[in-house]
Amino acid sequence: MHRPGIPGTILATVVIAVAVPACQTDQVDDAVADTEMDAQHEEDDGDAGHEIHWSYEGDTGSAMWGSLDPSFAACDDGVRQSPVDITGAVAGGESELEIRWQPGDAEVVDNGHTIVVNVAEGSAISLEGREFALLQFHFHHPSEHTVEGSAAPIDIHFVHAAAEGDLAVIGVFLETGEADPTIQSIWEAIPSAGEPPGALAALDPRALLPEGGSHYRYPGSLTTPGCSEIVSWVVMTESVAVSQDQIDAFAALYPMNARPVQPLNGRTIERKD
């Protein structure tokens, strides 16, 4: 994917995001190299790095992440980890979230941990006065965040980066209902093993936003190694419907790609309406 004209840190972020294969982290920039943006890509950045395999179950599963590599230490030692169970939210006053996404070309990648949709530049959010550019979104089955102990079948994470390198991720729960045409177009673009990324023209991410802007806010982390605590989390209170067939199609690829919920450790979850 070509992203001409993106200056400075954003460019570095994007280059790393598309160049770092799954299960591989570099020492380049912990804040971005090992993020959920580790989308596999046909381009090679020429830096072999060192490969650290991780998964969701077994010897390299989420309970083991912190011991797999020193760069994953926050997965064990962190104090503001994600996901969390959303409970006891307090009224947080007026929303300071402005979503300015727009349609654009996108590519669909299977990075071995999830399905990632890399979007064209131009979509952004403003969160509490700061700008974050939308880079990609991806899926977890079942949902990683839970509400009062209950998971949704799937959640989407929309990953945004600020120029300073920290992230804002918007989570949207997908619940069982009518089939969603945007999800269908994404599923149909998932490449087979060994195939190049699937192309999507004029994908509109706004079609995957629920009605209304109510959301939960809390400070947290990446939910994949190295679990860096650089994420401003926004979890939408309302969900988007997808069909059971669409859930089953994703589950056939990823039966379980959700990290368990982590302790709040005194953090406050705010609800913004």
Catalytic residues: 113
Indicate the residue among 5 and 41 with the shorter CB distance to Zn ion: 41
Minimum gap (Å) between residue 142 Cβ and Zn ion: 12
Selected binder of Zn ion within 26, 34, 36, 110 (CB under 5 A) = 36
> Is 157 a residue that touches Zn ion (CB under 5 A)?
yes
Indicate the residue among 157 and 160 with the shorter CB distance to Zn ion: 157
At 139, the amino acid letter reads F
Minimum gap (Å) between residue 260 Cβ and Zn ion: 13
Indicate the residue among 157 and 215 with the shorter CB distance to Zn ion: 157
Q: Quick check: 230 and 120 in contact, CB under 8 A?
A: no
In sequence order, the β-bridge partners of residue 174 are 154, 240
Q: Quick check: 264 and 79 in contact, CB under 8 A?
A: no
Under 8 Å CB-to-CB from 131, ≥6 apart: which residues?
Answer: 124, 125, 162, 163
* Cα 197 to Cα 110: distance, rounded to the nearest angstrom: 8
Give the per-residue contact string, 198-237, with Zn ion (x = CB under 5 A; - = no). ----------------------------------------
C-alpha distances (whole Å) from 232 to each of 98, 202, 217 are 14, 28, 7
Indicate the residue among 30 and 266 with the shorter CB distance to Zn ion: 30
Indicate the residue among 141 and 157 with the shorter CB distance to Zn ion: 157
> Is 180 a residue that touches Zn ion (CB under 5 A)?
no
Which one of the spans 70-78, 152-160, 209-217, 258-266 is the region binding Zn ion (CB under 5 A)?
152-160
Site residues for Zn ion, 252-271, by CB under 5 A, read none
Size of the site for Zn ion (CB under 5 A): 2
Instruction: Look up residue 250 and give its DSSP letter.
Output: H
Minimum gap (Å) between residue 83 Cβ and Zn ion: 8
Q: Quick check: 246 and 230 in contact, CB under 8 A?
A: no
* Cα 135 to Cα 140: distance, rounded to the nearest angstrom: 17
Minimum gap (Å) between residue 221 Cβ and Zn ion: 11
Q: Residue with CB nearest Zn ion?
A: 157
Angle subtended at Cα 168 by Cα 191 and Cα 14, rounded to the nearest 5 degrees = 50
Structure tokens at 118: 């890399």
Q: What one-character-per-residue DSSP string does 84-118 give?
A: -EE-S-EE--S--EEEE---EEEEEEE-SSSEEEE
> Is 155 a residue that touches Zn ion (CB under 5 A)?
no
Minimum gap (Å) between residue 168 Cβ and Zn ion: 13
Residue 131 has phi, psi (to 5 degrees) of -95, 135
Which one of the spans 1-9, 34-42, 69-77, 205-213 is the region binding Zn ion (CB under 5 A)?
34-42
> Is 113 a residue that touches Zn ion (CB under 5 A)?
no
Q: Quick check: 81 and 66 in contact, CB under 8 A?
A: no
Which one of the spans 149-157, 173-181, 233-241, 244-252 is the region binding Zn ion (CB under 5 A)?
149-157
Minimum gap (Å) between residue 7 Cβ and Zn ion: 27
Q: How many residues does the chain have?
A: 273
Indicate the residue among 41 and 157 with the shorter CB distance to Zn ion: 157
Binding site for Zn ion (CB under 5 A): 36, 157
